[in-house]
Structures are given as C-alpha cells and as structure tokens.
Amino acid sequence: MADRLAVYPGTFDPLTNGHVDIILRGARLFDRIVVAMLVNPEKSPLLSLDERVAIAREVFADHPNVDVDTFDGLLVDYARRKGASVIVRGLRAVSDFEYELQMALMNRRLNPEVETVFMMPGEAYTYLSSRLVKEVFALGGDITGLVPEAVHVRLQRKRAGA
C-alpha cells in the first residue's frame, strides 16, 4: 500500500506547543506529515517565512516522518502535487468550528479526493493561539511552556534587536 501522506497547513507565526502537539499526533497516525507554511506576502508576519521554516525544522529534527515545506496558491493544489490524501487541522474549541468547516467543505469541493481530518490538541493547549502568544510576548508576558524553546529564543533575539 502507498504511504499515507498528510499535509498540516498554516501560518505558524509563531509555531506554538499546540501546533507541535497536533503534528506529533499526526506523525503517529500517518506515514508522513508535511508542515506546510503558507507564503503570504499580504500579512506582515512577526517571523519571516525563513525563520518559521528554520524553527520547525529544528523542532522536528528528531522526527524523520515530519517534513517542513512552504506553499502558495490553493492548498488542494499543493496537496495534489505532494501526493497527499489528507489535510490535518486542529480543532481547539467550538469557536474554531465554523471557519474550519467552511475551509474543509471548500477544499472538498475543489478536490473531493483530499479528506480533511480534525484533531484535538491536548487540553492544556485549547486556549492557545499564535495571535495570543504574539500579544502576550509583545506586552512583556511570560510565554514559557506555550511555544517551543526555539521560538522563544528567536522572539527574545528579535526583541533585543539582534
């Protein structure tokens, strides 16, 4: 049987421990999972795409079935090019559901052969989002335990102007 490849798309600005939790669950469920970072020049990210890729590669260096890649254009086109049959998305709370349902159904319409699979992160991460991490960090709050060490280090370096 062919390898079952899943794509886990997102912005990952920054990668949080909630993302890491979902990726590790996906890596147990599928033969390979590709963390696919959207190239989105319209948004002004805190971390550049190169920084986000470098962080994810560092975090998953010991996980040979986790790949890190970038994509632009339609997600389903990227999935097709990669030969992926599954899109993984995390669902934290009911508030995520509407947006995720819309995306999943639109993606299904665009390519019925790609299935979206939702996974729940560990309950410790249900309130966690990249947006909140950025806000707390910008306002001087402690983000220890919310993001991988590699993210924390980069953000501190950025704050120091390095």
Which one-letter DSSP state was computed for residue 120?
Answer: P
Q: Are 31 and 47 in contact (CB under 8 A)?
A: no
Distance CA 119, CA 25 (A): 8
**Known active-site residue 63:** no
The H or E element that residue 88 is part of is: strand 86-90
Here's the x/- map for ligand PNS, 58-87, by CB under 6 A: it reads as ----------------xx------------
- Residue 2 vs 146, nearer CB to ligand PNS: 146
Here's the x/- map for ligand PNS, 19-48, by CB under 6 A: it reads as -------------------x----------
Q: Which segment (5-13, 27-35, 51-59, 133-141) binds ligand PNS by CB under 6 A?
A: 5-13
CA-based end-to-end distance of the chain: 49
Distance CA 75, CA 84 (A): 11
11 binds ligand PNS (CB under 6 A): yes
Scan for tokens 């794509």, then name that residue.
7
Residues with catalytic roles: 19, 43, 92, 130
The contact set with ligand PNS (CB under 6 A) reads 9-11, 38, 74-75, 103, 106-107
